[in-house]
Amino acid sequence: MKFTTLGRTGLSVSQLCLGTMNFGPETSESDSFSIMDRALDHGINFFDTADMYGWQQGEGITEQIIGKWFAQGGNRRERVVIATKLYAQMGKDELKDWPNTGFVSALHIRRACEASLKRMQTDYIDLLQMHHIHRAAPWEEVWEAFEVLVRQGKVLYVGSSNFAAWHIVQANEAARRRNFLGLVSEQSKYSLLQRDIELEVGPACEAYGVGVIPWSPLAGGILAGVIRTSEGKRRYNDWVKHLVEEKREALTAWEDLCGDLGEKPADVALAWCLSRSFVTSPIIGPRTLEQLDGSLRALEIELSGETLEKIDAIFPPFKTAPEHYAW
């Protein structure tokens, strides 16, 4: 396994991040345990989750599975950099529709942190991320709440997810005024089929030392092979089917290129993601041990300048990023 540092911190994380969103809804508890154990065997030390995962409001099913896995001992907790997220409405039963059970107020930050700690059976969270921007919450309130958690030792680092570039700049400038570390990571949707963050988010993160953790680097599996491989037999929803038809020419060229390289499309897509200068660790979301094992090949693929140019010809980048709008 190859390691890098998380943004401008000294924290070492694996260049592949284990996404746990499938744990519970798609992957059984026992299979989830096996996947996490295998990830450690491979040297993957960076796990990502969220309080809302499990898709039953207020239950935090995925975090509970991780907590039970930690509780088995064997230095599992000590070997993992655990990242989770808050924002979603987490009230249940009589509190299901009650105010202040979601978003990013100081009150919810405190409650969400305590609830995640309890579900994951740990006394600290390595990286606590805001799942979305909360425009109603002033940064003074947000940072004061996180500062308390950091001083208490319950949170080590703070990150964001799905933020615009100006949110990241605004957040870190506010943190700078408070002599607080601020955001050290940003989790954004990023793949060859969605390169929007190259315009501003990626460059802003690079300028501020914020590591980018791409989610959906395979574009929901579309980049794993849907035209010529067995992956094309997977069941997709109507939106994905529409996208495949819309991008069929490009996807065909993509799979032909990967065939010429002698590599699986999924592995090349991850390798391309890892080649971006602002990327820290793409999130992989295996449902099975086989999918986890297969993803490691991406770390061994070196894409030449010529190959990168061919990829850009198939999936055009924003040529003038990061100053696309400047003149």
Q: Is residue 323 part of a domain?
A: no
- Residue 235's pLDDT band, with cuts at 50, 70 and 90, is low
Task: Determine whether 259 is exposed, middle or buried from the number of CB atoms within 10 Å of its CB (0-12, 13-18, 19+).
Answer: middle
- Percentage of residues of the chain with pLDDT beyond 70: 97
Note whether 134 and 87 are within 8 A (CB).
yes
- CATH number, residue 183: 3.20.20.100
pLDDT in tens, 278-304: 999 999 999 999 999 999 999 999 999
Asked whether residue 232 is domain-assigned, the answer is: no
For the stretch 45-96, pLDDT in tens is 999 999 999 999 999 999 999 999 999 999 999 999 999 999 999 999 999 9
**Angstrom distances, CA of residue 287 to CA of 5, 21, 158, 242:** 27, 9, 27, 24
Evaluate whether residue 317 is within a structural domain. no
Residue 203 has pLDDT above 50, yes or no: yes
129, part of any domain: yes
Structure tokens at 205: 């993160």
Using CA atoms, how far residue 160 sits from 22, 156, 182, 259, in Å, is 21, 14, 10, 36
pLDDT of residue 130: 98
Q: What is the pLDDT of residue 322?
A: 72
Please state whether the peptide bond connecting residue 322 to the residue before it is cis, i.e. omega within 30 degrees of 0.
yes
Tell me, yes or no, whether 227 lies in a domain.
Answer: no
Answer yes or no: is pLDDT of 236 > 80: no
CB 188 within 8 A of CB 162: yes
What is the per-residue pLDDT for 319?
72
Identified catalytic residue from 53, 87, 190, 208: 53
Mean pLDDT for the chain overall: 95
Angstrom distance (rounded) from CA 307 to CA 261:
9
pLDDT of residue 232: 46
Q: Can you give the residue range of the structural domain that contains 181?
A: 3-220+276-303
Q: How large is the average pLDDT for residues 246-271?
A: 97
The structure tokens listed for 97 are: 């529709």
Does 222 score more than 50 pLDDT?
A: yes
Token digits of residue 89: 């409405």
Looking at the predicted structure, is the pLDDT value of residue 11 above 60? yes
Residue 313 lies in a domain: no
325 catalytic? Reply is: no
Q: What confidence score (pLDDT) does residue 74 get?
A: 98
Q: pLDDT tens, 122-178?
A: 999 999 999 999 999 999 999 999 999 999 999 999 999 999 999 999 999 999 999
Look at residue 250 and tell me if it is in a domain: no
* Least confident span in 24-33, 41-50, 312-321: 312-321
Q: What is the 3-state secondary structure (H, E, C) of the chain?
A: CCEEECCCCCCEEECCEEECCCECCCECHHHHHHHHHHHHHHCCCEEECCCCCCCCCCCCHHHHHHHHHHCCCCCHHHHCEEEEEECCCCCCHHHCCCCCCCCCCHHHHHHHHHHHHHHHCCCCEEEEEECCCCCCCCHHHHHHHHHHHHHCCCEEEEEEECCCHHHHHHHHHHHHHCCCCCEEEEEEECECCECHHHCCHHHHHHHHCCEEEEECCCCCCHHHCCCCCHHHHCCCCHHHHHHHHHCHHHHHHHHHHHHHHCCCHHHHHHHHHHCCCCECCCEECCCCHHHHHHHHHHHHCCCCHHHHHHHHHHCCCCCCCCCCCCC
What residue has token string 């395979």? 218
Question: Taking 60 as the threshold, does the pLDDT of residue 117 lie above it?
Answer: yes
Per the structure, how many domains does the chain have? 1
Do the domain assignments include residue 255? no
